[in-house]
Amino acid sequence: MAGRNHRISPSEHTVEAMSSTDELIERLERAEACQEEALLECEDLRDQLQFATAECNSLDSQLTATANQLARAERAVEALRRQRSRDQETILLLESRLAASQAEASNAEEEFRVALEELEVSSRSLAESNLQLYELTRTLERQIDERTADLKASLADRDALIEEIHHQTRNNLQIMASLLNLQANRVSEQSAVEVRKSLGRIQSMSLVHGLVFDKSSRADTPALPLLSQLCEQLASKAGDASRIAVNVTGHTGRIPLNAAGPLGLIVAELVGNALCHAFPAAANEGVAHRRVEVAAFGDPATSHIVIHDNGVGMDPAAGNERRGLGLLLVRTLARQANAEVRFLRDGGTRVEIHLRGARSTG
């Protein structure tokens, strides 16, 4: 009660007010300090919020990139899944093909085994056939040797017979020539001229026969050697051979054996006629080089032969008439040789003998 009734003095009241003011100031200062701290904390929180916002934005962009990567990864996984599915299908197809190949290989192996067995059987059969063939070959060789010996003997007999025929032919021609020579000595001079012409033809036949049907005769005869030897011997038998040149030229063709004899006789008749009648002394006094040209054309087969002299020539109509034994003989021999004879007047007498059917490149 004493305290309640105690009165406060003004000085005490002033002291208390001053102390309260100081306390308030101190509180205010502490509040200001707290406010500054709160402001600082707010600034820190604002910076942290900005940093957190930036971090969130960065995390959001990272999340977006991660989502994109995840989408790409999902697409890659889907592509890998499809590729794996295709690979599995390929593996299944390859396995089926491998199984088929193994089956084919097994079948091939079985076929090879069967073929090998057949080959062994064939080999044994072939060996037996070879043995039979060898024996047959030996038999055939013996038969061929025997047949060859028989053919050689027959050929030798034939050659001997042909040689005897040619010998008899030459003897007969020689006998005919001797008989004609004897007859020429017994008849008048006018008749002897014709007999000597026949004798010359017989000698030409003997000459051609000896040249064509010699030991080296073949299915065809070289034209140039035949004509050269024939003209050489005809020129040597002519009386004025030293003053008439007989030249043989041309290609290296060949004449069939069945035509060589008639063609040789034709050439002998024409060349002999040129040597005897183409150069009479009175008509050829101004001719410096008297010559008879014989030319063969055609290769490999002789196609035509030309006899040309630079003498007085013959009447162009005479070659187209059937007068004279010489021209008749030439035409007859030409038919035998399947040839055509043409008489021309070309600085003398020109006779062309064309072989029908002859094929050549000349």
What does the DSSP assignment read for 69-124?
Answer: HHHHHHHHHHHHHHHHHHHHHHHHHHHHHHHHHHHHHHHHHHHHHHHHHHHHHHHH
Share of the chain above pLDDT 70, in %: 87
pTM above 0.85, yes or no: no
Decide yes or no: CATH 3.30.565.10 for domain 220-362: yes
* Rounded distance between C-alpha atoms, residue 238 and residue 304, angstroms: 26
CA distances to 9, 228, 244, 278 from 247, rounded to whole Å, are 195, 8, 10, 15
Tell me the per-residue pLDDT of 191-226, one tens digit each, with 9 for 90 and over.
777 777 777 777 777 778 777 776 566 667 888 888
Mean pLDDT over the full length of the chain: 83
Contact between residue 336 and residue 309 where contact means Cβ atoms under 8 Å apart: no
Decide if pLDDT at 81 tops 60: yes
DSSP H or E stretch at residue 128: helix 10-186
The predicted pLDDT at position 282 comes to 53
pLDDT band with cut points at 50, 70 and 90 for residue 319: very low
Q: Which is more confidently placed, 203 or 69? A: 69
pLDDT band with cut points at 50, 70 and 90 for residue 321: very low
Max intra-chain CA distance, the chain:
234
Task: Name the residue among 206, 237, 254, 211 with its Cα closest to residue 355.
Answer: 254
Tell me the per-residue pLDDT of 254-306, one tens digit each, with 9 for 90 and over.
988 888 889 988 998 899 888 888 787 655 555 567 889 999 999 888 999 99
The boundaries of every CATH 3.30.565.10 domain in the chain are 220-362
pLDDT band with cut points at 50, 70 and 90 for residue 15: confident
Q: What is the DSSP letter of 353?
A: E
pLDDT band with cut points at 50, 70 and 90 for residue 178: confident
